[in-house]
Amino acid sequence: MSRLRLLFVLILIFACALAFTFIYYVPARAELLYGAPADNLSVSSRIEYSLRLLLHGDALKTPLDVNGAEQTFRVESGESVSSVANRLQAAGVISSARVFFDYAVYTGIDRSIQAGDFKLSPAQSIMDVAKALQKFNPGDAVLTILPGWRVEEIAAALPTSGLTIDPQAFLSAAQTPPPVLAFAGAVGMEGFFFPDSYTLPRSSSLENLLDEIARNFVSKLTPDLQNGFSAQGLNVYQGVILASIVQREAVKIDEAPLIASVYLNRFAIGMKLDADPTVQYALGFQGDKNSWWKSPLSWADLEIVSPYNTYLNSGLPPTPISNPSLAALKAVALPQNSPYYYFRAACNGSGYHVFAETYEEQLSNGCP
């Protein structure tokens, strides 16, 4: 083969690879990360905006200021999405009007932004802000997931949400995480049902619901959180598992970083976690109490044979035991430094705990 023909073949192969990347890979990757594109986009526009979103990288999911204060933002009647985007940036709500505009057009949110007053915060990501401005249809369904719920409690809330999704089908499908969670190594969606209110059309499919919830979790999993887990010697899945325990233990969520420190201290020396919520999870539904969380536990309960019983088994349970809030996830990623290995409920009924370095101190903290 002559050099000229070889060069032609190489150019042809490169052109085909480039075409494949733009026509198939780029849109598929964008859909995996950011959801389905708007149905009004042409093929060329879908490729263009998919590429734009991918080039924006973490800008879509990273809040401008995680400690930013909430403010009122007004969208005027008939205002264009570009005007809204520019004013959001000027108001210090988002980091980039361009990124907001591209996401709004890609998803179709640009066609459903509602006029009126909204409570927005720079602690929200650009994706969250865009979704918050969507026009609400009174016919939509709203599923609210509370922090610390287990998947069965979420399933029980479906019939009153307005969604036409069978709870048993939901429980079955939740055993297989959507592709967007593949990076976390999750064996199911327990732990990844991010506590929030989800507004969807009543006709939404089960697949769409799970995908929406999973994407919400991924949008909250910032690089700081992931780096925090790594600093504690945990991968993402382990971080979520521990956060799910901390969520159930922390009656007062401001105490979560200190509770997390106790479990991390135990984990670091190979000490059993001895976490009551894991036993509650293993016991399951309590018909007499109409609850999934038995309290108080008996000594016999602590002997239940289950991989989730951290009184009998070392290390973390095999999966999360609840669905933790952002505060619980942060508590594990950024725990309070402490010398404690024990804690128990305070005797004053406040919901707080008293902490101890030794088992002897733990015993002395017992209530009279």
Residue-wise pLDDT tens digits, 149-172: 999 999 999 999 999 999 999 999
Helix (H) or strand (E) holding 356: strand 353-356
> Which run of H or of E encompasses 82?
helix 81-90
pLDDT of residue 366: 87
CB atoms within 10 A of CB 275: 25
Please name each of the domains of the chain with its CATH number: 1-134 (3.30.1490.480), 141-219 (no CATH), 223-364 (no CATH)
**Residue 204 has which token pair?**
């939404």
d(CA 88, CA 243): 33
Instruction: Give me the pLDDT at residue 110, please.
Output: 83
209 DSSP β-pair partners? none
**Residue that has been written with the tokens 């973490």 in this structure:** 58
Q: Which two tokens stand for residue 224?
A: 């700081």
CB 260 within 8 A of CB 335: yes
Whole-angstrom distance, CA of residue 108 vs CA of residue 280: 44
Token pair for 138: 């009174």
Low-confidence ranges of the chain (pLDDT < 70): 1-24, 135-139
Would you state the pLDDT for residue 12?
55
pLDDT of residue 219: 87
User: Using an 8 Å Cβ cutoff, are 309 and 282 in contact?
Assistant: yes
d(CA 86, CA 83): 5
**113 and 75 in contact (C-beta within 8 Å)?**
yes
CA distance 126 to 118: 14
Q: What is the pLDDT of residue 20?
A: 46
Q: What is the separation of C-alpha 329 from the centre of its chain, rounded to a whole number of angstroms?
A: 9
Name the pTM for this structure: 0.73
Give CA separation, 324 vs 91, 165, 217, 233, 255, in Å: 31, 23, 10, 19, 14
Q: How far apart are CA 241 and CA 167, in angstroms?
A: 24
Chain centre to alpha carbon of residue 166: 23
